[in-house]
Amino acid sequence: MKLLNSFEFENVFRKPFHKVENSKIIIFSCSNFSEVPRLGISIARKQIKLSHERIRIKRLIRETFRLSQYKLVKMDFVVIVKKEVMFFKNNLLNKILRNLWYRHYQ
């Protein structure tokens, strides 16, 4: 249920079918040939320097994806976050992510 190699990430970036974003988080998606939606997370070490913050953000992204996956179309999704996300509290980040996933299956 996750994108494993750089070719799969490049495929989403090369020809995104749909792009949902707010000012701090972007979700790209493109069709895939598997039976389930798959997730890839891209958080640059240059953007968020503290590893525990990167891990916290990835954990929240995975959790909201897990709760939304049954409503999503069978596509590959790549989530990109910007530096300011590091300062968001968990409940605010969770709310933003749920809203972005909702816009994908609306």
Q: DSSP state, 87?
A: G
Model pLDDT for residues 7-38, shown as the tens digit of each residue? 888 888 887 788 888 889 999 998 888 888 99
CB 55 within 8 A of CB 91: no
Asked if residue 1 belongs to a domain, the reply is: no
Please report the pLDDT score of residue 31 as a whole number: 87
CATH number of the structural domain spanning residue 30: 3.30.230.10
Q: Which two tokens stand for residue 32?
A: 């895939």
The pLDDT score that the predictor gives to residue 53 is: 94
Residue 57 pLDDT: 95
Give a yes or no: residue 10 inside a domain: yes
User: What percent of the chain has a predicted confidence (pLDDT) above 70?
Assistant: 99
Phi and psi torsions of 96, nearest 5°: -60, -45
State which residues form the domain around 21: 6-104
Strand residues in the chain grouped as ranges (E): 18-21, 25-31, 38-42, 75-81
Is 106 a residue whose pLDDT tops 70? no
Q: How many domains does the chain have?
A: 1
